[in-house]
């Protein structure tokens, strides 16, 4: 059975479709586009081509496909250029549609290419990792990395639809599934105490009967935040709450070198650092911090850095983060487990101490 959820953004509204296998639904969408005279192309990565060849064929048929190398290195200026050249080579015009099939890297790269090509064409998201299903495929944030930092170039460009087909997770490596769980845990911490308690009681696995419902639950939280604050302009709270753990996590990714940590692994350490910062601000207790770390560890995620990273480099990376305001990082902190808030003006020493406690050198 296919379930749906609408992201209500006026003329930019779109539906999320949830089901065990939506291959026929994607193929039907391709057929309708072509019958309407619209050119269609697809972007994915080589890992997915190898692992899900039958699923891709069932969804795409003879649609032209560009398969890039997996990993953050493809989410670059050079990677963007390859996608734009591919779209031009296949003659997509302003009525064209790009299908983006993959994880967070492919979604960000493909979405930004769609936002940039001919000043904007339509695209559809078909997320194939847990992280992309619960987070990055929804909300229209697209972008690429620079040497100076993660996602420093990008655009808000909403997809025309999202097909969340859980059968695509069958070939997902265990490490990638765990990375997606960092974002699921984030949703519980920032706005769903019952979800956090559920994860605390019974860790979620790729075979859990509750997996589909949890994915939809996370998407619903994100949809409501995006609807209220699409462009992340709220003075307090709003869409910025989705950055819980990310100010620390993005710094880890940059300093360690993109690919050393999966995005979700860096966010997991970032969640633990954010919990420690929240404790230092007097919002939560040491027992709460221990609960956060226990849930993170129960889902095969790191609670500390694998090896020390220089604190000077980490704090410099945080200073270049997109969320900096008036020269200071803007952190998302926990008021309690299940409730987050944005907070400015935090003394740098507190953030540095939190970073040291998760292994910064």
Return the active site residues.
119, 141, 183, 222, 236, 239, 243, 246, 250, 263
Q: Are 42 and 106 in contact (CB under 8 A)?
A: no
Of 139, 259, 134, 138, nearest to 204 by C-alpha is 134
Count the neighbouring beta carbons within 10 Å of the beta carbon of residue 89: 11
DSSP string for residues in 183-228: HHHHHHHHH-HHHHHHHHHS---TT-TTHHHHHHHHHHHHHHHHHH
Contact 272, 304 (CB under 8 A): yes
Indicate left, alpha or beta for 317 from its phi (over 0: left) and psi (-120 to 50: alpha): alpha
∠152-135-54 over CA atoms, to 5°?
A: 105
- How many Å apart are CA 216 and CA 205, to the nearest integer? 15
Q: How many CB atoms lie within 10 A of CB 339?
A: 15
Residue partners of 333: CB distance under 8 A and separation at least 6:
274, 277, 278, 281, 283, 340, 341, 342, 343, 346
What are residue 99's DSSP bridge partners? 42, 124
- Which helix (H) or strand (E) segment is 296 a member of? helix 286-298
Report phi then psi at 293, rounded to 5.
-65, -35
H-helix or E-strand spanning residue 289: helix 286-298
Query: CA 252 to CA 270: how far, in whole Å?
Result: 8
Beta bridge partners, 97, equal 40, 122
């Amino acid at each position: 059975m296919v379930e749906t959820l609408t992201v209500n953004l006026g003329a930019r509204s779109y539906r999320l479709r949830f089901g065990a296998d939506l291959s026929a639904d994607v193929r039907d969408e391709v057929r309708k586009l072509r019958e309407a005279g619209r050119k269609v192309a697809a972007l994915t990565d080589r890992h997915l081509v190898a692992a899900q060849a039958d699923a891709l064929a069932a969804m795409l048929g003879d649609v032209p496909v560009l398969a890039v190398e997996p990993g953050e290195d493809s989410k670059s200026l050079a990677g963007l250029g390859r996608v734009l050249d591919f779209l031009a080579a296949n003659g997509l015009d302003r009525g064209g549609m790009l299908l983006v099939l993959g994880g967070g890297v492919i979604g960000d790269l493909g979405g930004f290419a769609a936002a940039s090509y001919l000043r904007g064409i339509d695209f559809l998201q078909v997320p194939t990792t847990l992280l992309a299903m619960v987070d990055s495929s929804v909300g229209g944030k697209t972008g690429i990395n620079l040497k100076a930092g993660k996602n420093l170039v990008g655009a808000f460009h909403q997809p025309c639809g999202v097909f969340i087909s859980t059968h695509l997770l069958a070939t997902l490596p265990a490490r990638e599934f765990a990375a997606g769980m960092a974002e699921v845990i984030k949703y519980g911490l920032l706005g769903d105490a019952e979800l956090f308690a559920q994860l605390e009681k019974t860790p979620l696995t790729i075979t859990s009967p509750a997996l589909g419902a949890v994915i939809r639950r996370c998407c619903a939280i994100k949809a409501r935040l995006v609807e209220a604050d699409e462009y992340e302009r709220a003075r307090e709270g709003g869409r910025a709450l989705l950055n819980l753990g990310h100010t620390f996590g993005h710094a880890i990714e940059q300093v360690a070198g993109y690919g050393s940590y999966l995005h979700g692994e860096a966010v997991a350490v970032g969640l633990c650092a954010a919990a420690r910062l929240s404790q230092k601000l007097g919002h939560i207790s040491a027992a709460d911090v221990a609960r956060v770390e226990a849930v993170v560890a129960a889902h095969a995620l790191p609670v500390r850095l694998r090896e020390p990273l220089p604190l000077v480099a980490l704090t410099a990376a945080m200073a270049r983060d997109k969320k900096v305001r008036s020269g200071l990082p803007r952190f998302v902190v926990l008021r309690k487990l299940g409730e987050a808030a944005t907070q400015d003006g935090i003394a740098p020493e507190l953030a540095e101490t939190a970073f040291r406690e998760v292994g910064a050198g």
